[in-house]
Amino acid sequence: MKKMAGGVTAPKGFEAAGVEAGIKYKDRKDMAMIYSQKPCVLAGSFTSNVVKAAPVLWDRKIVEESPFGQAVIVNAGIANAGTGQEGYAYCQRTASQAAEALGIPEDGVLVASTGVIGMQLPIEKIEAGVLKLAQAKEASLEAGNQAARAIMTTDTRPKQAAAEIQVGDVTVTLGGMCKGSGMIHPNMCTMLAFVTTDAVISKELLAKAVKEDVVDTFNMVSVDGDTSTNDTLLVMANGMAENEEIKEGTPEYEAFREALHYINESLAKMMAGDGEGATALFEAKVVGAATKEEARKLSKSMVSSSLCKAAIYGHDANWGRFLCALGYSGVKFDPEKTELFFESSQGKIQVYKDGMTAPYSEEEATRILSDTEVTVLADMKMGKETATAWGCDLTYEYVKINADYRS
Amino acid sequence: MKKMAGGVTAPKGFEAAGVEAGIKYKDRKDMAMIYSQKPCVLAGSFTSNVVKAAPVLWDRKIVEESPFGQAVIVNAGIANAGTGQEGYAYCQRTASQAAEALGIPEDGVLVASTGVIGMQLPIEKIEAGVLKLAQAKEASLEAGNQAARAIMTTDTRPKQAAAEIQVGDVTVTLGGMCKGSGMIHPNMCTMLAFVTTDAVISKELLAKAVKEDVVDTFNMVSVDGDTSTNDTLLVMANGMAENEEIKEGTPEYEAFREALHYINESLAKMMAGDGEGATALFEAKVVGAATKEEARKLSKSMVSSSLCKAAIYGHDANWGRFLCALGYSGVKFDPEKTELFFESSQGKIQVYKDGMTAPYSEEEATRILSDTEVTVLADMKMGKETATAWGCDLTYEYVKINADYRS
C-alpha cells in the first residue's frame, strides 16, 4: 500500500465539486458533489440512532435496493432531521434534480446533510446548488479539496486521505473525505464520510470489507458521546481501474482491506483531533484485554469521559480518572493488575501499577501530555486483545461552540 | 410529612462535627463526623465502578457484617482510591482511632473519603482529626451545618435536608447531607450522602426502603457521566424516637418512604444543580414510556448529553439535540409520535410534534430556558410510565475546574 495526496477524486473516473448555495452559511461553499463517470457498486453504514435523518432513510434504501449509484449530493448547515415527510420529499427532489442534470437514474443519487436539526431545507436553493455542482464538477484533486471544504460545519480543516495498491499489474486507488466535529460518537459513524475507489469488486465483498473495518475505525471515535441522527459512511467502487476482480481470501483482498483501513483510520483520527474546540488528539489504547469487544469498551470508555478529556486539556497526569473510566466501562477486571502509561512524541512513562501510583516525575508527565497527540495506554493483563479509540480534549471552546450553535 | 430545617443532626441522638485537619485544603474544615448516641441499624448503597475506593470496601463490609454502626468519619481532599493495601489499612486505622476516642466497637465505625485518586491519606493528620472531631461533636443543627461544609470539595454550597413524620403519636425525624459536584453519574450514587433517622425500623426493612428509593433519586443524577470510585450512601437508624417499630405494608412505612424519598430527592437535586460550574438545574422528565426502565433510560440520556447540557447553558431552544439524545438512549420509539416541551417558572411551550418543529416563539423559548431551573419534557406516547433525571448545564467553568483539579 502506498499513501497518496488527495481525496475522493484520487481514484480514476471520480469527479467532485464544491459550490456556494447560500443555504445557511454566508460567503463559503456549502454544497458538494461526488460524481463517478461510471456506475458504482455501493456500500454504506448509517447511524444507530432511533431518530434517523431523512437523507439516512433515503441512502439506506438506495444502498440496499439500487444495483448502482453514481452521485452524492451533500449540503452543510441544515441536517434535514426532525423534518417529517416534507424532509424526505426534499431528498427525492434533490436526487431528481441531480439525476436530470447528470443524465443518470434518480435511484443512483445519494444525498447527505449535516447541520442543525428541525429546520426544513430551502429546497429551491438546494436545486439551484445541484445545477451549479453539475456544471462545476471536475476530475482534479483540487475539485476534491473544494468538496472536502464545502461539507465542513464546525470543522476547522478539510479531511482527506488517499492510497493505492497493486492488483496484479494494475494500480487500484482509494480516496476519502469526511467532516466531523461535534455530535461524534461510536455506533456508526456520527459523521459524514465518503470513500471512493476505482477497484473492480463485488457489492457483497465491498459491504463485508466496510462492515468489518468500521468497528475498529469510525466506530472508535468519540468527540462528545452524542450519536448523531445523520451519521453516514458511503463507499463507491466504479471498477475503472479494470483490475481482475478482487476476491475474498486472496492477497489482493488483504491489500484492499489494508488500504481501506488506512483511509478510514486516517479520516477517523482527523475527525477526533479536530473535534469541536479540541487542542489535542486523545488516543486511548488498550492491550491485554480478554476479548476484542472488551478492549473496545475499555478504550471507548476512557476516550468518552469528560473528566479524562479535561485532564488531557489541562496536561494533568491525573491517572485516577483513566482508571475510574475503565472501572465503569462495564468490563470486569482486576484493578490491582492493571497498568497505565502516558505516551506521546515527548516520551512514555508508567503512572499506575500494583493498585497504586507508579514512581514517575510530574514534570515529565506534563511534558508528555503537552503534545498535540497524546496516548493513554492501559494494559489489562487479562489476555491478548487490543483496541484503540480516538477522541479529543474538552475545552472552553467546545462549550462556547455548543452553547449557541444555531446562531 | 413535614419539611424541616437542618440535616443529619435533626433526628434525636445524632451529633456531628466538622474540623480543620489540614489534609489537602488550607484554612477550611476538611473532616467531618456523624455520631449517634445509640447504636444504629445500617443500610448502604455503593459505587458500581469495578475500581472501588478503600473506604467503599470497608463500609460495604461493615454494613453487611456488623449488627450496628455508630459513627462515620469523612475526609475531603483525598479519595483513598487507587491506594492498594496501604489505603485499606488506613481505613482500619481511622476506624480504630475513632472507636477508641468514642468508646464504641471498631466495626461500628464507617469511613468515607472524597477527592483526588491515587494519593495516600496523611494518616497522622487523619488520626489527629478524629480526636478533634470526637471533642467537637454536638447534637446541634449548627454542628450538622459544619459537617455538611467540611465534606465539600468543588461544591459551592452545603447540601442538607430534613423532614418529620408521625408514627402513632410519636414524631420520627429524618435528616441528610451530601456532597456532589464532579464525577457524578448514575449507578450508585456517585457522591457521598449520609441520611440519619431516629426511627425504630429493622435493618432489613431499612435496606429495602433505601434500595427501592435510590433508583429514582440518586441514581437519576448525572453531572458529567463519570461514575466515581467512591460513591457512597449510608443510612443510619438509631431508634431513639421510640416509635412502635415501622412494619412493611403499613401507612407508617409509606410515610417513612415518603420522607426518605423527600430527603434523597432533595439532596439529589441539590447535587445536580450544584454540579461543577453549573448555572442551572436541568431536569429531564419523560412521560408516556412503555416501561419504567425505558423511562429512566430516556431521561438519563438527555440529562447526560454534552450537547443538551450546552444548549441549556446557551438558553438555546435547539430541541433536535434532546430528540437526538432520546434516539441513542437504546430505547425503541416512534419519533413521529414523540412530543417535546420546555418548561420553567417562566412558562411552558411545545417545541416538537408530528415529527417536526411545533410553531413556537423563539423569544418565549429563550425566556423559559433562561431560568435557573429548566425542565425538558418528552412525551413518548407509548404507555404510562414516567421518570425524572437531574443534571446541570455544561459551562466554561466545568472545563476550568477539571482541566487542573489537582493543583
Q: Residue A248: pLDDT above 90?
A: yes
Model pLDDT for residues A47-68, shown as the tens digit of each residue: 888 888 999 999 999 999 999 9
Those residues with Cβ within 8 angstroms of residue B89's Cβ, 6 or more apart along the chain or in another chain:
none
CB distance A319–B117 less than 8 Å? yes
Neighbours of B371 (CB within 10 A): 17
Chain A residues whose beta carbon lies within 8 Å of the beta carbon of residue B395: 399
Q: Catalytic residue numbers of A?
A: 190
**Alpha-carbon separation of residue A150 from A44, B194, B264 (angstroms):** 21, 55, 51
User: A177 with A13: CB under 8 angstroms?
Assistant: no
Q: Is A404 on the interface with B (CB under 8 A)?
A: yes
Q: Is B331 on the interface with A (CB under 8 A)?
A: yes
- Note the pLDDT of residue B188: 34
Cell of B370: 433562561
- Note the pLDDT of residue B18: 98
Model pLDDT for residues A296-308, shown as the tens digit of each residue: 999 999 998 888 9
Cell of B290: 412503555
Cell of B58: 470497608
Q: Residue A226: pLDDT above 70?
A: no
In the stretch 86-115 of chain A, residues with CB closer than 8 A to chain B read 86
Neighbours of B156 (CB within 10 A): 12
In the stretch 140-179 of chain A, residues with CB closer than 8 A to chain B read none
Average pLDDT for A362-382: 95
**Alpha-carbon separation of residue B384 from B287, B339, B390 (angstroms):** 7, 14, 20
Name the residue of chain A whose CA is nearest to B184's CA: A307
Q: Residue A127: pLDDT above 90?
A: yes
Percent of chain A with pLDDT over 90: 74
Cell of A9: 477524486
> Which of A226, A328, A333 is opposite residue B48, by nearest beta carbon?
A328
Which runs of consecutive H residues, i.e. helices, occur in B351-391?
Answer: 362-369
User: Which H helix or E strand runs over A16?
Assistant: strand A14-19
With a threshold of 0.95, tell me whether the complex ipTM lies above it.
Answer: no
Q: Residue A42: pLDDT above 70?
A: yes
**Alpha-carbon separation of residue B296 from B156, B187, B381 (angstroms):** 28, 12, 15
Residue B143 CA to residue B176 CA, distance in Å, equals 13
Chain A residues whose beta carbon lies within 8 Å of the beta carbon of residue B398: 306, 310, 399
CA B194 centroid distance within chain:
9
Average pLDDT for A186-201: 77
Pairing of strands A385-392, A281-289: antiparallel
- Note the pLDDT of residue A187: 38
The tens-digit pLDDT sequence of chain B (407 residues) is: 999 999 999 999 999 999 999 998 888 999 999 999 999 999 999 888 888 899 999 999 999 999 999 999 999 989 898 899 999 999 999 999 999 999 999 999 999 999 888 899 999 999 999 999 999 999 999 999 999 999 998 888 899 999 999 999 999 999 999 998 654 443 333 589 999 999 999 999 999 999 999 989 988 887 655 667 788 999 999 999 999 999 999 999 999 999 999 999 999 999 888 877 788 999 999 999 999 999 999 999 999 888 898 889 989 888 988 998 999 898 999 999 999 999 999 999 999 999 999 999 999 999 999 999 999 999 999 999 999 999 988 887 777 766 755 54
Model pLDDT for residues A269-313, shown as the tens digit of each residue: 998 888 777 889 999 999 999 999 999 999 999 998 888 988 898
DSSP one-letter code for B243: P
* 3-class DSSP assignment, residue B264: helix
CB distance B117–A321 less than 8 Å? yes
CB distance A82–B187 less than 8 Å? no
Which runs of consecutive H residues, i.e. helices, occur in B161-250?
Answer: 203-214
Residue A126 CA to residue A73 CA, distance in Å, equals 9
Q: Is A290 on the interface with B (CB under 8 A)?
A: no
